[in-house]
């Protein structure tokens, strides 16, 4: 039997173009910086600055809302101007410039300004960055490219957590609460990868030209096509059950897992996420995006059911580690599917809309989870298992709807 020609061979990581490597290196470095700081920020706010949980919730809620709205605008704007790179560079630059303000913050209000500035950067960069990746590869490389990018991003998150843990263990010598000096030392170290991330994208990436660009796209689902609307309805249903991962950490704590155990759990999650993302993206290039996403959602449903039924801390730890399997299968693959079903000229708008809708739905998803857990307005709630059973049920329903949907590739306008 003759050997497959180069054109017939599945794409490899080495075949990915320069832009994918540039974006992946940038995300790797920025996630090292971000995960070092953001995961410890609630502990700094509560334990050092004395902020209440309501204040912490307000800071995070406004931060995500700002990022979500900016993702929509920046994606549309990148389509309008016909370029992606420098908008993404600006976004990463704003996040890097926000980092020193965490060091000097002496009040919850000052932390809020730094956090919101960081989210402004994320809101500006996310959609143009995703569109840059999609513009730089062929359809047969798309799943691999997004999977590889997610793997690099998550590897950075894992390394950031490891560095933060090492600094905590070195400076605090067994202390339970996070010290102000420890947090500020972590912020100082985080500046190095943040600056390198901006330099990497500015130097290594090349601008892409939006081919076949038409009039500036509108802020409307109609301009993105019926297929995209159906996709967002299905993904939106899934996301209503996908509450903040903070609830998973609370579940681990409620089942008796220590702070060190929780950090180790997060590191293991990111390791599995990293290892699965690239092969899962490559698999979606061969067997189709929907099948891989459906598989990821079914895994999610089983894992969330496990969270709901878990009786011990080690069971929660094990399920959270396996939670990385869902992310590796579905997260990057869903972004690749967006590029499959919308014309190239509106990819920025599509990614902005996708990220914005999911960011906005994170708020009601988390409110629903909190109410199911502890209740509200005199209702006692259903207990700590309820939000996970709810989330698993919606994931199962979304997987069925995804299996019934039959999308067609978008025509290039």
Token pair recorded at residue 3: 């050997």
Query: What is the set of domains in the chain, with CATH numbers?
Result: 18-209+219-404 (1.20.1250.20)
Dmax over Cα atoms in the chain, in whole Å?
72
Length of the chain, in residues: 413
Residues of the chain predicted below pLDDT 50: 1-7, 214, 216-217, 412-413
Q: Of 357, 348, 343, whose CA–CA distance to 73 is shortest?
A: 348
- Identify whether the C-beta of residue 224 lies closer than 8 Å to the C-beta of residue 349: yes
pLDDT in tens, 192-242: 999 999 999 999 988 876 655 545 445 556 667 788 889 999 999 998 888
- Identify whether the C-beta of residue 38 lies closer than 8 Å to the C-beta of residue 167: no
pLDDT in tens, 272-317: 988 888 888 888 888 888 999 999 999 999 999 988 888 888 888 8
The three-point CA angle 292-297-300 to 5° equals: 130
CA-to-CA dists, residue 42 to 89, 108, 348, 380, angstroms: 28, 10, 33, 26
The pLDDT value given to residue 413: 39
């Amino acid at each position: 039997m003759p050997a497959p020609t180069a054109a017939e061979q599945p794409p490899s990581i080495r075949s990915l173009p320069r832009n994918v490597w540039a974006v992946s290196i940038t995300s790797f470095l920025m996630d090292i910086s971000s995960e070092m700081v953001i995961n410890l920020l609630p502990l700094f706010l509560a334990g050092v600055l004395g902020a209440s949980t309501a204040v912490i919730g307000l800071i995070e809620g406004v931060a995500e809302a700002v990022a979500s709205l900016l993702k929509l605008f920046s994606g549309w704007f990148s389509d309008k101007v016909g370029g992606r790179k420098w908008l993404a560079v600006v976004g990463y630059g704003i996040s890097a410039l926000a980092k020193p303000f965490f060091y000097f913050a002496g009040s919850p209000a000052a932390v809020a300004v730094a956090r919101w500035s960081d989210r402004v950067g994320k809101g500006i960069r996310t959609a143009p960055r995703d569109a840059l990746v999609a513009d730089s590869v062929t359809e047969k490389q798309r799943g691999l490219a997004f999977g590889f990018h997610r793997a690099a991003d998550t590897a950075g998150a894992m390394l950031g957590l490891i560095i933060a843990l090492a600094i905590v263990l070195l400076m605090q010598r067994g202390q339970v609460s996070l010290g102000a000096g420890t947090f500020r030392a972590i912020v100082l170290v985080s500046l190095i990868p943040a600056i390198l991330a901006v330099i990497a994208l500015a130097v290594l990436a090349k601008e892409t030209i939006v081919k076949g660009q038409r009039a500036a796209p509108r802020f409307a689902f109609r301009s993105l096509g019926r297929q995209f609307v159906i996709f967002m309805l299905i993904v939106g249903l899934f996301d209503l059950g996908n509450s903040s991962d903070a609830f998973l950490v609370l579940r681990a704590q409620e089942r008796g897992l220590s702070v060190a155990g929780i950090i180790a759990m997060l590191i293991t999650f990111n390791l599995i996420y990293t290892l699965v993302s690239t092969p899962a993206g490559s698999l979606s290039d061969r067997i189709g995006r929907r099948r891989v996403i459906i598989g990821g959602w079914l895994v999610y449903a089983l894992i969330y059911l496990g969270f709901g039924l878990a009786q011990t801390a080690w069971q929660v730890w094990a399920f959270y580690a396996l939670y990385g399997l869902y992310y590796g299968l579905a997260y990057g693959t869903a972004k690749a599917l967006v590029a499959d079903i919308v014309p190239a000229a509106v990819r920025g708008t599509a990614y902005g809309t996708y990220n914005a809708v999911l960011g906005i739905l994170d708020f009601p998803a988390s409110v629903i989870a909190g109410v199911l857990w502890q209740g509200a307005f005199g209702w006692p709630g259903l207990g700590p298992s309820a939000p996970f059973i709810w989330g698993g049920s919606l994931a199962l329903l979304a997987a069925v709807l995804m299996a019934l949907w039959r999308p067609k590739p978008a025509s290039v306008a």
